[in-house]
Amino acid sequence: MTDQHSSYPNGHLLVDSEWLEEHRGGPDLILLDARANNYEISHIPGAYWLNVKALKEPVQKSIVPKEQVQQLLEGFGITNESTIVIYDEGNNVLATRAFYVLEYYGLRDQLKLLNGGFAAWTAEGYEVSSDQPSPRRESSISLNANPLLITSKEELQAGLQNVILLDTRNILEYTGEDQRNNRRGGRIPGAIHKEWRDALQETDERGVTRFKDNSTLEREFAEAGLQRERIIIPYCQTNQRGAHTYFVLRLLGYPDIRPYEGSWEEWGNDEFTEIELVGRS
């Protein structure tokens, strides 16, 4: 990896286009395109398309069972020895959702994100392709869910100790002014706010959005009220933006991050959960 990511405590989780160009095509590297659209038009050569929506069980508002994830990954040729690079358009909100689900199922430290995503790859002049690689069926993988990487509504209601609830939605959702399509708006009582997109730099003149540098992220999360010795529980509407913050905190080396998978889609639509409305000055 190039030096630009070495300042992050877990810089091995992030790669740039130069690194990917050097390593793609290696026998143990699998490339996943997590974009919602345009894969069939052009993508990084050799990438498989990952439907990120397929990782969420919509009725139960939970991660899909491991058997479904296992079947999906084996179709890409992924094993327990694979290195997996994931990318999306560039803000990485889809790639980080995939990252979180796969880490939850045990692929910790096998996963990397492409900083700047497909926008960075194309802006830097690297090759693209419309050819779709053939599914692989000869591989096998063993997955095991890690209960210490997830939080449930019931656990929150029971009163977890030593936790910081981190609301990663936009400020209007956090205050309750934007209720979206939920029964109620507001926040989970005691949650602090740090919008997920605050971890990203301004989009540059070539349309590329990358993560902020380590020192800036460290300072901004500390200013928001995060503490490394506490359990951090990010949430949003469906734990897509929360998963983005999960990745950023992993990159920064936070030791205990347990997203609330049900997020506001569950909490805000349950008439028996407590909520707070936050006034803005």
216 within a domain of the structure (yes/no): yes
Mean per-residue pLDDT for 59-88?
95
Rounded to whole angstroms, the maximal C-alpha distance in the chain is 59
Pairwise CA distance, residues 236 & 222, whole Å? 20
pTM, whole model, 2 decimals?
A: 0.95
Domain count, the chain: 2
Note the pLDDT of residue 58.
85
Residue among 177, 209, 213, 212 at smallest CA distance from 193: 177
From 123, 158, 175, the end of a domain falls on 123
Cβ partners under 8 Å of residue 201, min gap 6:
209, 210, 211, 212
279 within a domain of the structure (yes/no): no
Count Cβ atoms within 10 A of the Cβ of residue 13 and give its class: 0-12 exposed, 13-18 middle, 19 or more buried.
Answer: buried
Domain identity same for 170 and 253: yes
pLDDT at residue 138 is higher than 80: no
Pairwise CA distance, residues 115 & 145, whole Å? 27
Residue 145 burial (CB count, 10 A)? 14
5-22, pLDDT tens digit by residue? Answer: 779 999 999 999 999 999
128 within a domain of the structure (yes/no): no
- Which residues make beta-bridge pairs with 14? 113
Residue among 40, 44, 66, 45 at smallest CA distance from 55: 66
Residue 281 — very low, low, confident or very high, per pLDDT cuts 50/70/90? Answer: very low
207-258, pLDDT tens digit by residue? Answer: 999 999 999 999 999 999 999 999 999 999 999 999 999 999 999 999 999 9
256 within a domain of the structure (yes/no): yes
16 within a domain of the structure (yes/no): yes
Residue 1 — very low, low, confident or very high, per pLDDT cuts 50/70/90? Answer: very low
Residue 73 belongs to what domain range? 3-123
Mean per-residue pLDDT for 254-270?
97
Mean predicted lDDT score pLDDT of the chain: 95
60 within a domain of the structure (yes/no): yes
Domain identity same for 10 and 95: yes
Domain identity same for 164 and 58: no
Domain identity same for 10 and 117: yes
pLDDT at residue 280 is higher than 70: no
23-49, pLDDT tens digit by residue? Answer: 998 889 999 999 999 999 999 999 999
273 within a domain of the structure (yes/no): no
139 within a domain of the structure (yes/no): no
Mean per-residue pLDDT for 81-100?
97
Pairwise CA distance, residues 123 & 206, whole Å? 6
The gap from C-alpha 39 to its chain's centroid, in whole angstroms, comes to 20
Note the pLDDT of residue 3.
47
Domain identity same for 106 and 213: no
Domain identity same for 94 and 177: no
Domain identity same for 71 and 11: yes
Note the pLDDT of residue 61.
86
Domain identity same for 154 and 118: no
Which CATH number goes with the domain that contains 93?
A: 3.40.250.10
